[in-house]
């Protein structure tokens, strides 16, 4: 498969965005106080790294197979760490990190939703749609974390 110039530029922008998601979750993993949230960020960092690699494959001319995974959000069941007795400053810190991450996921998901229309190849379209669903899963996991900890 050969990408047009416009398609290549679009993939490059998405790639940059995914790299910054990897970096963000790495940093947020270091900033989070709650080990449950640290684990979630570590998991998301790995998932974003997979997006980076998928896009790199497209840049090289092939499309990785995708599995339309819409279960991650559904299956995630975090245990609550924060209650009225726990450190309110830690909770405030972690609430900020989770809320800010949901904002990023929402933005990235929106970008995929728009960019998918720029591609001629059906398999690329399917891959980008699949990644978009995964970004929504990430947001769902973060939302569940907030809810169970009384942050939502």
What residues line the site for Fe ion (CB under 5 A)?
A: 18, 48, 51, 105, 135, 138
Q: Which two tokens stand for residue 21?
A: 């998601």
Question: What is d(CA 78, CA 37) in angstroms, rounded to the nearest whole number?
Answer: 9
Q: Mapping DSSP to helix (H, G, I), strand (E, B) and coil, where does residue 76 land?
A: coil
Give the nearest distance from C-beta 21 to Fe ion in angstroms: 5
Nearer to Fe ion, 91 or 137 (CB): 137
Cα dist from 15 to 38, 97, 118, 128, whole Å: 24, 23, 15, 12
- Element containing residue 132 per DSSP (H, E): helix 122-148
Q: How far is the CB of 22 from Fe ion (least distance, A)?
A: 8
In angstroms, what is the minimal distance from the CB of 110 to Fe ion?
12
State the minimum distance, in angstroms, from the CB of residue 90 to Fe ion.
24
In the complex with Fe ion, which residue's Cβ is closer, 48 or 130? Answer: 48
Closest CA to 146 of 23, 4, 34: 34
Q: Is the CB of 94 or the CB of 135 nearer to Fe ion?
A: 135
Closer by beta carbon to Fe ion, 53 or else 80: 53
């Amino acid at each position: 498969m050969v990408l047009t110039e416009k398609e290549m530029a679009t993939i490059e922008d998405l790639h940059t965005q995914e790299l910054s998601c990897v970096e963000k979750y790495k940093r947020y993993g270091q900033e989070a106080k709650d080990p449950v949230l640290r684990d979630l960020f570590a998991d998301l960092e790995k998932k974003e790294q997979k997006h980076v690699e998928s896009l790199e494959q497209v840049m090289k001319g092939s499309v990785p197979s995708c599995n339309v995974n819409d279960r991650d959000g559904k299956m995630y069941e975090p245990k609550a760490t924060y209650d009225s007795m726990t450190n309110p400053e830690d909770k405030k810190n972690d609430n900020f990190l989770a809320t800010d991450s949901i904002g990023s996921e929402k933005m990235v998901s929106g970008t995929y939703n728009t960019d998918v229309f720029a591609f001629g190849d059906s398999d690329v379209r399917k891959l980008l749609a699949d990644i978009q669903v995964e970004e929504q899963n990430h947001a769902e996991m973060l939302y569940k974390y907030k809810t169970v900890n009384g942050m939502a």
